[in-house]
Amino acid sequence: MAQELDQKTHSQIAVVTVESLGRLPIEHHALGLFNEWAIGHNDDKLGLLILPATSDHQWRIETRRELEVLLPYARVGRIGDKMRPDRQRRDYSIAVLKTAGEIATIVPEDRNVTLAAVGLRSEP
């Protein structure tokens, strides 16, 4: 799904699962990874990071500014909220798949592209 999204929309999704953040706030950890890995191509910077911290029971979806038009903070928050039941069951794999699947429908719709390999989507 991520590869097809990248090929057809030039948007990248990265998923990093960590057990613990230590004392670092999840926002700082996410921004550090986001910048270190340079998620999103250099020319258009359409990138997104999904970061669950399993032992800390925290979750972050970080977008580059260029994707904030499609995925503003409030919309990303609603997507993350839909995954709360999966996260509470500690089913992080399903939560990540649903999150990525939801995002992988939003970006292609904006670009009038269809993805063949869209993963699990959350229910509205």
116 domain-assigned: no
16 domain-assigned: yes
Question: What pLDDT is attached to residue 119?
Answer: 45
78 domain-assigned: yes
Looking at the 3D structure of the chain, how many domains does it have?
1
123 domain-assigned: no
- 67 DSSP β-pair partners: none
Low-confidence ranges of the chain (pLDDT < 50): 119-124
User: pLDDT tens for residues 4-13?
Assistant: 888 888 888 9
Find the domain containing 79 and state its range: 2-110
The sign of the CA dihedral 123, 73, 54, 10 is positive
119 domain-assigned: no
38 domain-assigned: yes
- Residue 38 sits in a domain whose CATH number is 3.10.310.50
